[in-house]
Amino acid sequence: MEVNHPAPLRLLELAAHSLLSNEASVLLVLEQLTVNLFPPLLTAAFAKGHRKALKALVQAWPFPFLRLGSLIVQWPNQDSLQAVVDGLEAFSAHRACPRKSELRMLDFTLDSEQVHSKGASEALAKFPFWLPSTVKAEMPQAVARPKPTENMKKGPKQPWEAVEIHIDLFLRGPFKLDKFLSSLLTKVEQSHGALHLCCRKLHIEEMPFHSLLGILKTLKLDFIQELEVFDWFDWFWALSDPNLSATQLGRIFNLRSLKLIYYNWAFSSRGERPSSYFLSQLTRLGHLQKLHLSYSYLSGNLHYVLSCLWVPLHSLEICYCRLLDTDITYLSQSPHTTCLKKLDLSGNNLSYMIPRPLGTLLREVSGTLQHLDLNHCRLKDAHLSALLPALCRCSHLSSLSLSDNPISSACLLSLLEHTTGLMELKQVLYPIPVDCCMYLHGLSWGPVNKDKLCQLQAEIQKQLQAMQRADMQWSPPLPLLMQLVQFE
């Protein structure tokens, strides 16, 4: 049951507000209330911060599901959230009597519409630990645990039946536990298994290891599907210990997306790899589909990482990792090329890998590739021209990004002419041409000649119209695009 309804107030809502005018009366008549009065009553109590009523409503909730995301966005009230958590104290494995509540899942997450609603930014400001999910991904079918359905037949719950609490977390150091989060973790620990804390998406940034380890012990690790970790330099000793974080990673075996930023990979030519314990845990991630590695020194060692993944990836982002031609060669020969839909090699110097091995890689992924990002790869006119045959074979390509490459306007127009035949290609992000600005170390630098850039944009639009590809959008980097709109 998701608690969300439009204005104006309906009759049931008016009844709920009337009841809450005397909060004590709600507690007295709660067991006699009809079930259809519970949702509007909880909404009104949450909006007005009636803590006693909220606590009692949670403990007597007559439905299997209670989703609070929409209420948090509308009324980001710390006291109301705390009251909901206080209501969980009745859920204990040590209770001898059956619970009144039919609650099986308490959900604090948001759907994509709620994330983009007006109140989302205010809610996130008040609860900085709270990470809204933009995608409601299901567990992989082969490993998904049985879950109750919304229309399931209700009945008395077994005294030991666990309640799942769904919340996605943003954990950032220096770390001090938020009052709500601290209380929630305490309730889960004290429930002795009656409450399961389920986090689908977990973001970790500069967290002290001892603080994080305590939180990980509280989470149901097999529920995590998206893991993002930033700044692992202080973690390096822990990642090299088979008894600590590597073991934790191996327990997140339903992981579908892994993002590591600034991870200090350590490889040795003598075969002794301090990262070997961590790499051995990657073999246990049998459902991983997306891998993102950024700002990590991987030169010549990409095969150590990819060879641990025995299921082909759908998305691979290796940005600013100082890749060598041997890395691209290995990737082009790996099983991952059979399924890749997204490939991002931005921030690596690819200028000496053309036509091979980069062209070979593009030919290998041409049957599935939909998104290609080659930003800041030091590509010039000759490089792009040499890549065109392989690029034009990517018949499913829908987006192409080439920002921060020193390419001329003439070469970009040639690229347009050759790629208009890719009927699924809808978005192209092109760099500021070298005839419109200066480049330094592969990056655009200094003032931009907006007159020339506007002329190029006009010519691109003219050619798109002539080729009947008005559905294809070509644009420079977004900040500059906004300036061009104002300039015109």
Report yes or no: 231 and 261 within 8 Å, Cβ to Cβ: yes
Calculate helix-pair angle for 179-190, 78-86, nearest 10 degrees.
10
- 387 in any annotated domain: yes
pTM of the model: 0.85
Any idea what the CATH number is for the domain that residue 473 is in?
3.80.10.10
Report pLDDT digits (tens) over 201-260. Answer: 998 887 777 777 778 888 999 999 999 988 655 554 454 455 555 556 778 889 999 999
Sheet holding 201-205, edge to edge: 169-172, 201-205, 226-230, 257-261, 290-294, 315-319, 342-344, 371-373, 399-401, 427-429, 473-475
Report yes or no: 79 and 49 within 8 Å, Cβ to Cβ: yes
Report pLDDT digits (tens) over 20-33. Answer: 777 777 777 787 88
> Which residue range is the domain that position 409 belongs to?
345-478
- 371 in any annotated domain: yes
Report pLDDT digits (tens) over 333-377. Answer: 999 999 999 999 999 999 999 999 999 999 999 999 999 999 999
- 404 in any annotated domain: yes
- 104 in any annotated domain: no
The residue with tokens 């075969």 is 271
CB atoms within 10 A of CB 415: 23
- 71 in any annotated domain: no
Written as six digits, the tokens of 346 are 């931005």
Cis, bond preceding 447 (omega within 30 deg of 0): no
C-alpha span between 86 and 84 (Å, rounded):
5
C-alpha span between 440 and 190 (Å, rounded):
58
Report pLDDT digits (tens) over 96-134. Answer: 433 478 899 999 887 656 655 665 666 666 665 665 443
Written as six digits, the tokens of 358 are 């980069």
- 89 in any annotated domain: no
- 407 in any annotated domain: yes
Mean confidence (pLDDT) of the chain? 81
Angstrom CA distances, 487 to 432, 474, 483, stand at 16, 18, 6
Domains contained in the chain, number: 1
CA angle 160, 163, 164 (to 5 degrees): 140
- 368 in any annotated domain: yes
